[in-house]
Amino acid sequence: MHADRTNRTLLIVLALLMLGAGLAAGAASLGGFGTATKNSTLMDNPTGHYFGANGAWLWPVIALAALIIGLLALRWLIALLFSTDRSGDLMIKSSTGAGRTTLVNRALTDAVVGEIEGYRGVDSAQARLIGDPDDPELVVRAVLEETADLTALRQRIETGALAHARQALGNMSLPAQLDLTITSRRSARVV
């Protein structure tokens, strides 16, 4: 998922911090906190004095906080670079409860793509399983030729390839997302 929600939240926090710091310092600079503050130096304020008086223990505490923030930033960076929303291989439950069947993720998505690309009027297709392997969602993207009967083709994908995928997983209510795009390119395939 590349931590999209975390990214947005932290970027909003950063924007608010920048705005807050800019407005507060701007107000101090323009005399919003009094002429004395406006004309005093940057270090000549209660915070500066507190740091001056308590630096012996304050800086090691700040260093410790920096260590925690650094570790969290490292975790965030790793999530950004390496996380994925794709499901792993799927366990198929048998009706008798005996035995165990594992369906390789790629086998299912390749079969879905193969079936959809076999329909007349489909230029190309992509499929992936996302989410928890126990509760996956099938996401399919199909590029349709504009000359095709688009509604009929949509229904064929829904009742054909997607229904077959649900059957294969033994889950007829498997959530599915179908993204259709249209191209003016004519397929060279003969079906």
Partner 1 sequence: MRLVNRVLAALLSLALLAAAVLLIATVVADRTSHHEGIVHWRAAYHWAQHNAWAAASIRVACGILILAGLVLLVAELKPARVSRLPADPAEAGADAIDTAYTRRGLAAAIRSAVSAVDGVRSNSVKVKRRTVKITATASAQDRTAARSLRDPITDAVRQRLSALKLRRTLSVSVRVAPRSH
Footprint (CB under 8 A) of partner 1, residues 89-128: none
The stretch near partner 1 (CB under 8 A) out of 69-77, 90-98, 100-108, 111-119 is 69-77
Residue count of the chain, please give it. 191
End-to-end Cα separation, the chain, in angstroms: 36
Taking residue 65's Cβ as centre, other Cβ atoms within 10 Å add up to: 10
Q: How far is the CB of 158 from partner 1 (least distance, A)?
A: 4
3-class state of residue 126 by DSSP:
strand
Instruction: For residue 112, give the nearest of 129, 93, 131, 130 by alpha carbon.
Output: 129
Q: Using CB under 8 A, which of 49, 54, 70, 94 touches partner 1?
A: 70
Q: How many residues bind partner 1 (CB under 8 A)?
A: 73
Q: Cα–Cα–Cα angle for 76, 82, 83, nearest 5°?
A: 80
Q: How far is the CB of 133 from partner 1 (least distance, A)?
A: 19
Taking residue 183's Cβ as centre, other Cβ atoms within 10 Å add up to: 12
Q: How far is the CB of 29 from partner 1 (least distance, A)?
A: 5
3-class state of residue 113 by DSSP:
helix
Q: Is 88 in the site for partner 1 (CB under 8 A)?
A: no
> In the complex with partner 1, which residue's Cβ is closer, 40 or 105?
40
Please list every residue from 20 through 39 that binds partner 1, using CB under 8 A.
20-23, 25-26, 28-31, 37-39
> In the complex with partner 1, which residue's Cβ is closer, 16 or 104?
16
Strand pairing of 137-145 and 122-130? antiparallel
Q: How far is the CB of 140 from partner 1 (least distance, A)?
A: 9
